[in-house]
Amino acid sequence: MGRRALFIIDVQNDFTEGGALGVAGGARVAADITEYIRAHRDEYDVVFASRDWHTAGSDNSGHIALPPAEPDYVDTWPPHCIAGTRGAEYHPALDVEWIDVHVLKGQGVPAYSIFEGRTHDGRDFPEVLGSHGVTDVDVVGIATDYCVLASALDAKDSGRAVRVLTDLVAGVAPESSEAALARLAAEGVGVAPSAD
């Protein structure tokens, strides 16, 4: 019998409206994930949540454009999700009591996928995921076209069955988000609303 996990990707203040890299619909997704998990918690053996957690005063190996440098919004970004700041905290609409394992990523380096993260006790995420015997993964969060995409592809590449719940994600731009979902579907990832 397989074990199911929910990945909640980067539902943080800096990625929601008003944040350093806020996406439209981010706050709504935070609230909707909370509603979803309250209704479906018994369907998951473990819930993981990732956060970008970048090092203050560092370009994080070229990921952050420190002033006066200008970000290109492809490989370099404005300062965001700096460890210990309000921007790096979970959005207040996300109820963190449902989360079993918290994962931090991007400490001094670029990191889009939850698979590049570490738990608070310093263990690599893939090791922790394996220790839970997870075979099936649902992915929700922000941003569809970056960290959700990378996390879902890595989960698929790790040999697991993966779904992205399309009503519980928000992306940077409509075109790149649609392209991300199309790529995921082409790679064998399930792409469907949570009601399906």
pLDDT per residue as tens digits for the range 8-23: 999 999 999 999 999 9
Banded model confidence at residue 1, pLDDT cuts 50, 70, 90: low
- List the domains of the chain with CATH numbers: 3-192 (3.40.50.850)
Q: What is the model's pTM? A: 0.97
pLDDT digits (tens, 9 = 90+) for 27-79: 999 999 999 999 999 999 999 999 999 999 999 999 999 989 999 998 999 99
Strand 46-52 versus strand 3-9 pairing type:
parallel
Question: Does the structure show a pLDDT above 80 at 103?
Answer: yes
Active-site residue 156, yes or no?
no
Q: From the candidates 32, 138, 147, 156, give the one annotated as an active-site residue.
A: 147
Instruction: Give, for 193, the enclosing helix (H) or strand (E).
Output: none
How many Cβ atoms sit within 10 Å of the Cβ of residue 95? Answer: 15
Banded model confidence at residue 2, pLDDT cuts 50, 70, 90: confident
What is the three-state SS of 23-62?
A: CCCHHHHHHHHHHHHHHHHHHCCEEEEEEECECCCCCCCC
Active-site residue 10, yes or no?
yes
Looking at residue 195, its pLDDT comes to: 87
Q: From the candidates 81, 105, 138, 154, give the one annotated as an active-site residue.
A: 105
Active-site residue 147, yes or no?
yes
User: 89 is written with which tokens?
Assistant: 């905290």
pLDDT digits (tens, 9 = 90+) for 108-129: 888 999 999 999 899 999 999 9
Q: Is residue 106 within 8 Å of 63, Cβ to Cβ?
A: yes
Question: Does the structure show a pLDDT above 90 at 152?
Answer: yes
Q: CA–CA separation, 24 vs 21, rounded Å?
A: 10
Q: Is residue 176 within 8 Å of 23, Cβ to Cβ?
A: no
99 CB-side CA count, 13 A: 19
